[in-house]
Amino acid sequence: MAPVARPDTNTLFHIDLTWFEKTGRDLREEMHAALCEDCRALYPMPADAGVVDRVHPLTAQVTRVDALWECLADHCGRQPDFITPATPLTTAIFRALLANGNQPMSPEQLRQRIRKGSAAAILKLLLGSEIQNGVVPFEAQV
């Protein structure tokens, strides 16, 4: 058996979407709570934000995307108050990944994004005994 690499501040983490199913929590509700005021006015309830067509600006290829992910990545995540110094670290990490379209990020990248704590502190939190918001090490599919 190959030895398990010890996670460090360059280890990638992502939101495990199945964690929400397993723990009975509603990811879409959590995502909805992270929306800015403008987007919440647009989608008063999580169910109002359905699947929308996204047209690729260069190839004009149309893909179906979840409006909540779209909002968070393209709008809310770019607002200055999406992550503030008052945002708890666990929430800030979760929001950074939401705004990143759940593309995996390392503690170092997270620290740069959230401008809070240190990469070591973020790593320690992510490896804590309790999984926060489904954020776990990203394992490349083989």
Residues that bind Zn ion (CB under 5 A): 36, 39, 75-76
User: What is the Cα–Cα distance from 18 to 34, expressed in whole angstroms?
Assistant: 19
- Residue number, 42 or 131, with CB nearest to Zn ion: 42
Q: Who contacts 85 (Cβ-Cβ below 8 Å, separation ≥6)?
A: 115, 116
Give the shortest CB-84-to-Zn ion separation in angstroms.
15
Residue 96 neighbours by CB distance under 10 Å: 23
Closest CA to 7 of 102, 110, 122, 123: 123
Give the shortest CB-47-to-Zn ion separation in angstroms.
18
- Residue number, 67 or 125, with CB nearest to Zn ion: 67
Give the shortest CB-78-to-Zn ion separation in angstroms.
8
- Residue number, 31 or 76, with CB nearest to Zn ion: 76
Structure tokens at 64: 């179906």
- Residue number, 36 or 65, with CB nearest to Zn ion: 36
Q: Who contacts 39 (Cβ-Cβ below 8 Å, separation ≥6)?
A: 71, 75, 76
Give the shortest CB-35-to-Zn ion separation in angstroms.
6
